Structure 1
Amino acid sequence: MNKTLNIIIIILAMGLIVYNVTLVDFDNPLQGDSTIALIGIVASLCAIVLLLIFMGSKKIEKKLK
């Protein structure tokens, strides 16, 4: 995967986080659709972290070669 694709996926994940935050009912965050929105937020954050780790490992791999 090249760098631009990683950045596009990170931006899409951030967009999903913003969208899911709008769906959360902060009075009852663990009721109904709010639970699904919270799961979506956590999943998007995990995707971002994994992509950042992947990008860092690719930088290290280039330096070792």
Structure 2
Amino acid sequence: MNKILTIILIVLAVALIAYNVTLIDFQDPLQGNSVIALIGIVASLCAIVLLLIYMTSKKIQRKIDED
């Protein structure tokens, strides 16, 4: 997976977070569709963390290959 695709996936995850924030009912965030939106936000954050770990591991691999 190249760097451009990884960045596109991170942007999509951020867009999903923004969309799910609009679905949360801040008066009662643990009822109904708000719970689903919160799960979507957590899942998107997990995806971002995994993609950042992947990018970091690729950088390390390139440095090892150079030596």
- What is the TM-score of this pair, normalised by structure 2? 0.96
The unaligned stretches of length 5 or more in structure 1 are none
1:19 to 2:15 alignment: no
CA RMSD of aligned residues (A): 0.3
Aligned to 2:59: 59
Superposed CA offset, 1:16-59 (max 9, x none)? 00000000001110000000000000000000000000000000
> Separation in 2 of the partners of 1:41 and 1:29?
13
> Separation in 2 of the partners of 1:29 and 1:56?
34
Equivalent residues, number: 65
Percent of aligned pairs sharing the same letter: 72
| Aligned pairs for 1:22-41 within 5 A | 22-41=22-41
- What is the TM-score of this pair, normalised by structure 1? 0.99
